Structure 1
Amino acid sequence: MEKMYSRTKYNICKTQGELKNRLINIEKEISDICNQCGRKRNEITVLSVSKYVPNEIVDIAYRLGVRNFGENRIEKFENRKKLSFFNNCSWDMIGHIQSRKVNKIVGQFSLIHSIDTIKVARLVNKFACEKQICQPVLLQVNTSNEESKQGFISNFGVLERDNIFACMDELAELPGLDIQGFMTMAPNTNDKNLIQSVFHDTKVIRDKLQNLYPQLNLKHLSMGMSNDFKLALLEGATIVRIGSRLFIK
């Protein structure tokens, strides 16, 4: 088994039966939410967050039909290229992007979820233009305004550096970026009302900016993880990032 990049040890599901049951349960929960709020299942992508999972477990997930994976480190992503089915899958970058690694990341991923500052956006644009591509991205918004989280701040009318409303004029004109929407993370709390309010506020931000920038197609909201994806779906999430519910015991 390949060596993990994280020092944290996880009790990983290792059998096809375990993963299959988890996929079935996740799918049922998503279908129930869709029925509850009148959404179509094909509007939603389940991104299987494989960042702590060795290649042989990714292989099992693939054989069970999983095709969309999320990674948070370029090094782990490069190791995925050993998989025979690598090119049959969609790979997204969901982790914080270090400036010195931007060049390695641009052009490698189907979608980058974590454009969290104007500096990172400019760097991604620079390397995308050099590579003559338009990189699909999401803008990460710190909707909960927590100091521990990365992302553009979102106080409407406050003109500060890395305020999403103040930066959007420039972001919308960067030719190397295909801005497809927004990503956020809920606060680490058991307060479901607070969590859902963060997802709701992110949707409101998206809707405001879509009205202000009709030339953009801000179709995606990447919101919700293993413990709160159902709340995110109620607020319009189009991508849910599920890792531990699928892979970790």
Structure 2
Amino acid sequence: MQQYAKQYEKVLQKIQSACQQSDRDPQSVQLLAVSKMHSTQSIEAFYQLGQRAFGENYLQEALEKIDVLQALQIEWHFIGHVQRNKTKHLAEKFDWVHGVDRLIIAERLSSQRPEQLPALNICLQVNIDDQNSKDGCQPDEVADLVKKISVLPNLRLRGLMVIPKPENYAAFAQTQQLFQKVKELHAQPQDWDTLSMGMSGDLEQAIAAGATIVRIGTALFGQRDYSSAD
């Protein structure tokens, strides 16, 4: 617990320092703790330290954690690739879905979101630097997708999510420019307020470019053990 507290404080200080250097309010940047492949006990430890938003990449693992930790007031974010056959679970169990990159995915999330739950927050994942290995729509598809997804019920389209190549800091600025361009083109959606970008190694550069959610895993939880991954 003490080690987690040190790591948590260190990350929060890095966010605060980055915001000060960019003349931004630290409250404008949300820390999303990426807990994939880490235990429910470690999530509970960070929860006790005050962390509330946790991000998961693998659906089955996430569903098990959500069930175990259902007594806690956790804001669950899904940040992995969204497959068509898994949208029902995402619509029912999560507060945010960051990896939407096709209209059909948004339509399914909208139709499968339970009526008694608040609207599902979503981000469009953009392949901002044209990586063959990355999911995401193309930048020139964003405006049209925003127009079509914004009218769907049960969803709140909040902004963009990107995973640029390592050290491609220019991609953060490109994403911010794309975000502003779409905002100018569309008076709606009013909820267009989120840039999900930046991880443990580049959160400062992402915050300088306007990130509102930084997705931090390693700097909080330590290295992951992928030997048991599917």
Is the structural similarity TM-score above 0.5?
yes
Tell me the secondary structure at the aligned position of residue 106 of structure 1.
helix
1:33 partner letter? A
Structure 2: distance between partners of 1:35 and 1:132: 36
Q: Which residue is equivalent to 2:226?
A: none
What amino acid maps onto 1:204 in structure 2? Q
* 2:182 aligned with 1:204: no
* Inter-partner Cα distance in structure 2 for 1:201 and 1:218: 17
Q: Which amino acid aligns with 1:36?
A: Q
Check whether the contact 1:129–1:175 (CA below 8 A) recurs between aligned residues. no
Q: Contact between 2:196 and 2:211, CA under 8 Å: does it hold in 1?
A: yes
Work out the CA distance in 2 between the residues paired with 1:129 and 1:109. Answer: 11
Q: What is the CA distance between 1:126 and its match in structure 2?
A: 2.5
CA RMSD of aligned residues (A): 1.8
Of 55, 80, 83, which aligns to 2:69?
83
Amino acid at match of 2:147: D
Q: Secondary structure at the match of 1:149?
A: coil
How big is the shift at 1:84?
6.0
Contact 1:107 1:135 in 2 (8 A): no
Aligned partner (choices 5, 10, 15) of residue 30 of structure 1:
15
Partner of 2:175, secondary structure, is helix
**Per-residue deviation, 1:32:** 1.0
Larger radius of gyration: 1
Aligned ranges 1:127-206 → 2 under 5 Å: 127-128=112-113, 134-155=119-140, 163-188=141-166, 192=167, 195-206=168-179
When normalised by structure 1's length, the TM-score is 0.83
State the Cα distance separating 1:128 from its structure 2 match: 2.8
Partner of 1:160: none
Post-superposition Cα deviations, 1:32-90, rounded to whole Å, max 9, x if no partner, equal 1111111001111100000110111112111222111011122222222212643x111
Secondary structure of 1:18's counterpart equals helix
Is 1:47 aligned to residue 25 of structure 2? Answer: no
Aligned equivalent of 1:119: 104
Counterparts in 2 of 1:84 and 1:97: CA distance versus 1, 3 Å: closer
State the one-letter code of the partner of 2:169. Q
Residue pair 1:107, 1:133 contacting (<8 A) in 2 also: no
Aligned counterpart, 1:11: none
Deviation at residue 220 of structure 1 after TM alignment: 0.6
Q: Percent identity?
A: 29
Provide the aligned length of Structure 1 versus Structure 2: 221
Alpha-carbon distance in structure 2 between the residues aligned to 1:113 and 1:51: 15
With over 3 angstroms needed to count, the CA separation of the structure-2 counterparts of 1:100 and 1:131, relative to structure 1, is farther
- Consecutive unaligned residues of structure 2, counting only runs of 5 or more, are 224-230
TM-score, normalised relative to structure 2? 0.89
How far 1:131 moved relative to its partner? 7.3
Once residues 154 and 52 of structure 2 are traced to their aligned partners in structure 1, the CA distance between those partners, rounded to angstroms, is: 26
| Contact 2:92–2:114 (8 Å) recurs in 1 | no
Instruction: Tell me the residue number matched to 1:9.
Output: none
